[in-house]
Amino acid sequence: MPSEHIEFEVASTHQDALEACRATAQRNGWSVEAVGFDGLQVRKGLGLATWPVTLDVRLTPARAQATAVSVDGRVFGLGPVQKRALRKTLETFEREVSGTAPGSSTVPGTS
């Protein structure tokens, strides 16, 4: 089962970052399976041309008015096609969550 990890920072409070993650999932039609104070689990559903992707999202305070977002993603299946699908899902998630707050950045060497 292919897996990937990314980290990035969102220039917003912990609660606002959590809401941005939840809104990104809902906007893309992904289901939010579990929500807690420190993160959530998101699933991108099955389809004829897609594979089930699970994102485990953890949020931690980074500095004043900033939140670190750590995402572990995995996809059912083996092979380069599934790995690309997972990477694309992670990139979409990061881009859309980061786009909600100016000054967001990817932590070098982690994506």
* 111 within a domain of the structure (yes/no): no
Count Cα atoms within 13 angstroms, Cβ side, for 54: 11
* 30 within a domain of the structure (yes/no): yes
pLDDT in tens, 46-93: 665 567 899 999 999 988 889 999 999 998 877 888 888 899 999 999
**Parent domain of 31:** 3-106
* 87 within a domain of the structure (yes/no): yes
* 43 within a domain of the structure (yes/no): yes
- The CATH number assigned to the domain holding 93 equals 3.30.310.80
Q: What angle do CA 62, 64, 67 make, to 5 degrees?
A: 35
- Mean pLDDT rounded to a whole number for the chain: 85
* Per-residue model confidence (pLDDT) at position 109: 38
Number of domains in the chain: 1
Q: What is the token pair recorded at 93? A: 């998630």
Give the lowest-confidence range in 61-65, 92-96, 97-101: 97-101
